[in-house]
Structure 1
Amino acid sequence: MKHGISQRKLGRMPAHRIALLRNLVSALLHHETIKTTLPKAKEAARMAEKIITLGKKGTNPAKSKAEAYLMPPHNSPTPSSSSLASSSTSLDPEEFIAPKTLLPKLFNELSSRYNSRSGGYTRIHKFGRRQGDNAPNAIVTLVDGPRDLKFELLARTVGKESLDLLQQKGSLEEISEDWDGLREKTKQKVEKVLKFKTDDEKNQFKQKAREFADYLQAEEAAYGGIKSPNVGVDTPKYRKPGMNTPKSGKLLRAGERLSGVSTHTTGLGLARGALARTPRGKQLIDKTPRFWGQARLPEGVAAQVV
């Protein structure tokens, strides 16, 4: 019979594994976002869900269980006012002092934040691979918090897709509550992220989307276009220009990805070359880095501009 398969072993002995998960969960509740490997992230998110559920209960047994699990130790003495006054060194107001306990945040702030949620307090984002052993990295965040990564990334996606309305209507209108002009997949993500948000947080989301849309429009004008040297046809365009080439514009580098441009122009996409997966319905992908305005032009016009 298969016993003891309730969680991943993580290549550690039981005592080491328990201490590792306690440390990860405590760091996640404190900083609200941590970066670790994918197997550790899945186990830490699972345990963090249980600890937050204890915080929502608010009973004395739940407080005892949370206090016994969370780190750092909660029985460490705090300095009194008399000892601080007698000490010769004064505390720097800018110095970061770690809290002695996470119970007030767990049973007050987090319990009120997730009061209307029945679960799903964490979110895992895959983040490439670790250098050395090529282990998959992941970022674990607490949802609906000030450091929610998906809230920021989705706001940029909405700002980029709202610029498509600019070419159709000629003016960037106020983003409506129905999120007109966005893709259906983006609409579903927006509804999921803003489901438990307040009106102020929804307005903040719209403000972030408009700021990123303005940034995409101003980026090309700020750099003055892309600097392309007047050399032969066989010479790579990303080569550093010489004395006879114009000095205005952004220097084009191999594999560079500009804001709002597809990931096919990254270094990995260029390295794959002909082996890269071609999107459905397209036979050839132009992997030349462009600004947002140049990337939205027709293929023939975009090739002439670059």
Structure 2
Amino acid sequence: MKHGISQRKLGRMPAHRIALLRNLVSALLHHETIKTTLPKAKEAAKMAEKIITLGKKGTDPAKSKAMAYLMPPHNSPTPSSNASSSSSSSAFDPETFVAPKSLLPKLFNDLSARYVDRPGGYTRILKFGRRQGDNAPHAIVTLVDGPRDVKLEMLARTVGKEGLDLVESSGSVDTLSEGWEGLRPKTKHQVERALKYKSPDQVKEFKAKAKEFADYLQAEEAAYGGLRKPDINPETPKYRRPGLITPKSGKILRAGERLSGVSTHTTGLGLARGALARSPRGRQSVDKTPRFWGQARLPQGVSAEIA
């Protein structure tokens, strides 16, 4: 019978491994978002779940265990008790601002109140490609329902874009103001899960983020002035081609950059699926032309200049 396999060894001796996990968990509870390798992220998230559970208990034994495990946070400027009010509103001054000595107030007050109705699942792991050099898998660990929840920001953008697509295609009511009807079933399910433990004010903030991204998509092309193109004088003869010194205007499209109206075939996800050079049989081939969101919804044969 094998023993001692409750957690990953992470290529370290026990004392080094325990200190590493204590540091990762303390940084996660303080910053609420950290980036590390995937095996470390899984172990740190598991330990952070246990520490937050101790914070929800609020008993003296729970405070003793949390105090014994957590490390003092670093690089966290907060006003000291003897700092003057005038210096507290100014820029960071190492002479008057010191780091907090403990994470216990945040754990037993803020985090416990945030997750009072949530039975578990306080952390989320998002894969973040691979690290340059040793090609180790990277991951982002975040605390859910926090101000730095990455998935919530991405979901708000998805809701804004799908709601805008619904208004433009069918001319129906705005799905952000009338509920979540009209979204894809998968997106609607993710929204219901993400907002299950949210307050009405937080739901309004989520809708505001989605509406802000929808407005950004509509104004993006006009704000950038379209794609990069030379400013040719109408009086210039057509046989004179624009040279290198011809002034240009518009957004420069970088290599690998995806605009709002470009298919996902040109993104990292499409490259991973091998969809860049694939032409699907029996279906219309995907248009990979660089364009903004408004240009992608023009009728066939209509150019952006006419619109």
- Give me the whole-angstrom Cα distance separating, in 2, the residues matched to 1:6 and 1:186: 36
Secondary structure at the residue paired with 1:197? Answer: coil
Partner of 2:285: 284
- Give me the whole-angstrom Cα distance separating, in 1, the residues matched to 2:148 and 2:128: 16
Checking the alignment, whether the CA contact within 8 Å between 2:262 and 2:288 is kept in structure 1 is: no
User: How many residues get paired?
Assistant: 285
| Percent identity of equivalent pairs | 77
Query: What TM-score, normalized to structure 2?
Result: 0.81
Kindly report which structure 2 residues correspond to 1:90-129, keeping only aligned pairs within 5 A, or say none.
Answer: 93-95=90-92, 97-129=98-130
Partner of 2:236: none
Partner of 2:57: 57
Partner of 1:236: none
Q: Cα–Cα, structure 1 residues 147 and 225, in superposed 2: closer, same or farther, change >3 Å?
A: same
Partner of 1:68: 68
Q: Cα–Cα, structure 1 residues 270 and 246, in superposed 2: closer, same or farther, change >3 Å?
A: farther
Checking the alignment, whether the CA contact within 8 Å between 1:256 and 1:289 is kept in structure 2 is: no
In the TM superposition, what is the alpha-carbon distance from 1:163 to its structure 2 partner? 1.1
Query: What TM-score, normalized to structure 1?
Result: 0.81
Q: Which moved more, 1:32-41 or 1:296-305?
A: 296-305
Deviations 1:83-103 (A, max 9, x none): x89xxxx88853263211011
Checking the alignment, whether the CA contact within 8 Å between 1:159 and 1:209 is kept in structure 2 is: yes
Secondary structure at the residue paired with 2:139? Answer: strand
Equivalent position amino acid for 1:46 in 2: K
- Give me the whole-angstrom Cα distance separating, in 1, the residues matched to 2:25 and 2:56: 16
Equivalent position amino acid for 1:225 in 2: G
Q: Which moved more, 1:160-169 or 1:52-61?
A: 160-169
Partner of 2:27: 27
- Give me the whole-angstrom Cα distance separating, in 2, the residues matched to 1:183 and 1:62: 43
Runs of 5+ unmatched residues, structure 2: 74-79, 232-241
In the TM superposition, what is the alpha-carbon distance from 1:210 to its structure 2 partner? 0.6
Q: Cα–Cα, structure 1 residues 281 and 262, in superposed 2: closer, same or farther, change >3 Å?
A: same
Equivalent position amino acid for 2:222 in 1: A
- Give me the whole-angstrom Cα distance separating, in 2, the residues matched to 1:60 and 1:12: 32
In the TM superposition, what is the alpha-carbon distance from 1:174 to its structure 2 partner? 5.8
Q: Is 2:155 aligned against 1:154?
A: yes
In the TM superposition, what is the alpha-carbon distance from 1:229 to its structure 2 partner? 7.1
- Give me the whole-angstrom Cα distance separating, in 2, the residues matched to 1:16 and 1:139: 22
Secondary structure at the residue paired with 1:34? Answer: strand
Secondary structure at the residue paired with 2:202? Answer: helix
- Give me the whole-angstrom Cα distance separating, in 1, the residues matched to 2:202 and 2:7: 36
Checking the alignment, whether the CA contact within 8 Å between 1:56 and 1:115 is kept in structure 2 is: yes
In the TM superposition, what is the alpha-carbon distance from 1:19 to its structure 2 partner? 0.3
In the TM superposition, what is the alpha-carbon distance from 1:295 to its structure 2 partner? 2.5
Checking the alignment, whether the CA contact within 8 Å between 2:227 and 2:253 is kept in structure 1 is: yes
Q: Cα–Cα, structure 1 residues 71 and 288, in superposed 2: closer, same or farther, change >3 Å?
A: same
- Give me the whole-angstrom Cα distance separating, in 2, the residues matched to 1:202 and 1:265: 33
Kindly report which structure 2 residues correspond to 1:1-306, keeping only aligned pairs within 5 A, or say none.
Answer: 1-72=1-72, 81=82, 93-95=90-92, 97-170=98-171, 173=174, 175-176=176-177, 178-227=179-228, 242-243=243-244, 247-259=248-260, 261-266=262-267, 282=283, 284-297=285-298
Runs of 5+ unmatched residues, structure 1: 74-78, 231-240
Equivalent position amino acid for 1:13 in 2: M
In the TM superposition, what is the alpha-carbon distance from 1:139 to its structure 2 partner? 0.7
- Give me the whole-angstrom Cα distance separating, in 1, the residues matched to 2:267 and 2:215: 23
- Give me the whole-angstrom Cα distance separating, in 2, the residues matched to 1:53 and 1:284: 51
Checking the alignment, whether the CA contact within 8 Å between 2:229 and 2:249 is kept in structure 1 is: no
Q: Cα–Cα, structure 1 residues 40 and 242, in superposed 2: closer, same or farther, change >3 Å?
A: farther
Equivalent position amino acid for 2:285 in 1: L
Q: Cα–Cα, structure 1 residues 138 and 265, in superposed 2: closer, same or farther, change >3 Å?
A: same
Q: Cα–Cα, structure 1 residues 166 and 92, in superposed 2: closer, same or farther, change >3 Å?
A: closer
Secondary structure at the residue paired with 1:36? Answer: strand
- Give me the whole-angstrom Cα distance separating, in 1, the residues matched to 2:35 and 2:263: 25
In the TM superposition, what is the alpha-carbon distance from 1:298 to its structure 2 partner? 5.5
Checking the alignment, whether the CA contact within 8 Å between 1:227 and 1:246 is kept in structure 2 is: no
- Give me the whole-angstrom Cα distance separating, in 2, the residues matched to 1:196 and 1:125: 20
Equivalent position amino acid for 2:125 in 1: I
- Give me the whole-angstrom Cα distance separating, in 2, the residues matched to 1:12 and 1:72: 22
Secondary structure at the residue paired with 2:6? Answer: coil
In the TM superposition, what is the alpha-carbon distance from 1:270 to its structure 2 partner? 6.8
- Give me the whole-angstrom Cα distance separating, in 2, the residues matched to 1:247 and 1:165: 35
